[in-house]
């Protein structure tokens, strides 16, 4: 499994299937809700990397928020507080930080 496959799997389990925990690499990671906005979040490991995933907040002004308001399921992923990718409706989009952090393809 590649890192991209792992991000899509986390998105699918957390947002599409609505699971309370995601299974990845033989481990289970809980899906939590933020206090204020009730957005789903998940902290997980892939190899040596610790990643955070958060459901897109539809109440912000970004184009991703606009898509979320239209019903699209979007999760943003970060490493060391830098957004590296998102998954929208099962499709992975890598951000420039992916390369600058030397994350595996």
Q: Are 92 and 8 in contact (CB under 8 A)?
A: yes
Count of the separate structural domains present in the chain: 1
Q: For each of the chain's 105 residues, which pLDDT tens digit applies? A: 999 999 999 999 999 999 999 999 899 999 999 999 999 999 999 988 999 999 999 999 999 999 999 999 999 999 999 999 999 999 999 999 999 999 987
- Specify if 105 maps to a domain: no
Q: Which pLDDT belongs to residue 36? A: 92
Whole domain around residue 25: which residue ranges?
Answer: 3-100
pTM above 0.85, yes or no: yes
- Specify if 17 maps to a domain: yes
Provide the 10 A C-beta neighbour count for residue 98. 21
- Specify if 25 maps to a domain: yes
User: What are the C-alpha distances in Å from 10 to residues 46, 53, 61, 88?
Assistant: 11, 8, 25, 12
What is the Cα–Cα distance from 42 to 20, expressed in whole angstroms?
10
Q: Which two tokens stand for residue 46?
A: 């892939």
- Specify if 41 maps to a domain: yes
Q: Are strands 49-55 and 40-46 parallel, antiparallel or unpaired?
A: antiparallel
């Amino acid at each position: 499994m590649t890192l991209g496959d792992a991000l899509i799997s986390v998105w699918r389990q957390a947002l599409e299937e609505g699971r309370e925990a995601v299974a990845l690499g033989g481990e289970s990671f809980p899906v939590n809700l933020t206090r204020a906005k009730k957005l789903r979040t998940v902290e997980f490991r892939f190899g040596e990397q610790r990643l955070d995933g958060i459901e897109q907040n539809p109440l912000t002004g970004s184009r991703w928020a606009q898509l979320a308001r239209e019903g699209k399921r979007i999760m943003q992923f970060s490493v060391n507080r830098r957004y590296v990718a998102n998954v929208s409706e099962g499709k992975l989009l890598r951000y420039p930080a992916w390369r600058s952090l030397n994350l595996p393809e």
